[in-house]
Structure 1
């Protein structure tokens, strides 16, 4: 027993490492208790001193959807000849909102937690990753509103549609996490970077097929270089997959069978693989520059 205790306290064989040294995102999963605390803190901070609290997560998307329905469903008819156009638009907006909020909150996450970053030795990847999870948390009420609208519109869901929607979410989650991770460091090194990101994010809703159908892009560009460039946007692929899961199953499917590219699934899987590669690159960039983060915050 004595030898066992002595061996247990014999630490010479253990290499010394700086207290802030981590193994990247893997360390975040190892410290899940810290991740839970960060997510809970961000959620509580958002609804601090709010009378309605979490109800705002349902009120805002419900009002947004009813506005779309009134404008596009009642005032403008079916909206560009697309059946249930309000659902078509809102299905895309759910993923676009999740994507933009993940990137925006991830970009500002290190600066927003400046005091903790400078004083505590913890995996700094925790902050952008927690921001992505908080964004996902606030997307769930929008999914509830979207599902309710689909049911009212005569939703006929299928397993292929559910798989498509999950693939769309996976793409957005990967790209949102990767960009938030990488941009959070850049935003510390160059404070204008957050404004640059916001400028490009403001353009995003117009570059995906939610305010207009994909058929317009196909008719405009055909299979040319314009179509190829348009489809290189991961948010475009994710929105189409989301619409396949929700909007398409509320329509006359024989009429809208041509509303998606023929290679929708192969493009989705390729985009998922690209997202994984980008996440690895983002982790490498983050690790390379994170040592400069505390001193650049002063």
Structure 2
């Protein structure tokens, strides 16, 4: 198609557009024709909407991982319960019988098993988060979806495993002489806050693990140290009675210890409010919001870089 200009010359439409675009930078050309960078990071509100739109994918991915996780083991998904139980038995033998860390703790079996189960939830979420991006590069490069779906789905896997383990935990607590009471309902908000904290922490570890390939090898040592400072197999209040105030405060405000203490307070009658850190629910909520929101934003800021390079 052509047109006659004011001076009588004839120019094609394509030639006119080309002349009009001469001298424009790539960014200006993109803005002029409404083009966008392939794989560019969407805005935060749009990213949240995309995640909500993929909620069925997240839940389906989580169910598939749960089903496939123990397919090679004869006992199958029973290992979801057996693993923390065996850990609790080992810790009871070492710390309860040999080292005597049960001093000052009533109903030490319920105290220990609760600590192991609750900490295992955070520990497993962290390890799943570390591998969530680096272990799914094929999926990331083949399909377009919000990458936060992966650490969120894997955290959901760990939550499902914890819920299965809770039936065993409640049975053990009952066998140790505890009686069901209204306070047991406090387990629900405690685990919800811990789940928000775990999801944020998993997203932080997912971003770090996507670039630091050796992080998965290092994390078990870091997590073991964290466990030993979280009061899983001893009473922080009892063992820090003569420690400097800053040490006591740091150990009591440790997020893993906070969530463990809240579940113990709910389930164990002898674990009273004076063994909880001050303002414990506010601390639990603060950790959940800080890590949940902060971890999500931290992960989102590198959205366009996952699976590249």
TM-score (norm 2): 0.77
Contact 1:213 1:259 in 2 (8 A): no
Partner secondary structure for residue 44 of structure 1: helix
Among 236, 239, 261, which residue is 2:260 paired with? 239
**Closer, same or farther: CA 284–244 of 1 in aligned 2, 3 Å:** same
Q: Aligned residues, how many? A: 272
Matches within 5 A, 1:160-179: 160-163=183-186, 165-179=187-201
Q: Which whole-Å CA distance do the structure 2 matches of 1:47 and 1:188 have between them?
A: 25
1:261 maps to which residue? 276
Provide the residue aligned with 2:128 in structure 1: 105
Contact 2:236 2:252 in 1 (8 A): no
Q: CA deviation at 1:46?
A: 0.7
Structure 2 counterparts to residues 132-281 of structure 1, below 5 A: 132-163=155-186, 165-221=187-243, 224-246=245-267, 248-249=268-269, 253=270, 257=272, 260-261=275-276, 263=278, 266-281=279-294
What secondary structure does 1:24 align onto? helix
Equivalent residue number for residue 3 of structure 1: none
Partner of 2:51: 28
Aligned-pair CA distance for 1:16: 6.8
Task: Determine the structure 2 residue equivalent to 1:11.
Answer: none
Deviation (angstroms), 1:75: 7.5
Residue segments in structure 1 that go unaligned for 5+ positions in a row:
1-14
Deviation at 1:68, TM superposition (A): 5.5
Structure 2 unpaired stretches of 5+: 1-33
Larger radius of gyration: 2
CA–CA separation in structure 2 for the residues paired with 1:16 and 1:241: 52
With over 3 angstroms needed to count, the CA separation of the structure-2 counterparts of 1:160 and 1:108, relative to structure 1, is same
Q: Quick one: distance in 2 between partners of 1:195 and 1:62?
A: 24
Deviation at 1:202, TM superposition (A): 1.6
Once the two structures are TM-superposed, the CA of residue 257 in structure 1 deviates from its matched residue by 3.8
| Contact 1:167/1:238 (8 A) holds in 2 | no
RMSD between aligned alpha carbons?
2.7
The whole-number CA distance in structure 2 between the counterparts of 1:134 and 1:189 is 23
Q: Is the contact between residue 95 and residue 233 of structure 2 (CA under 8 Å) also seen in structure 1?
A: no
What TM-score, normalized by structure 1, do the two folds share?
0.80
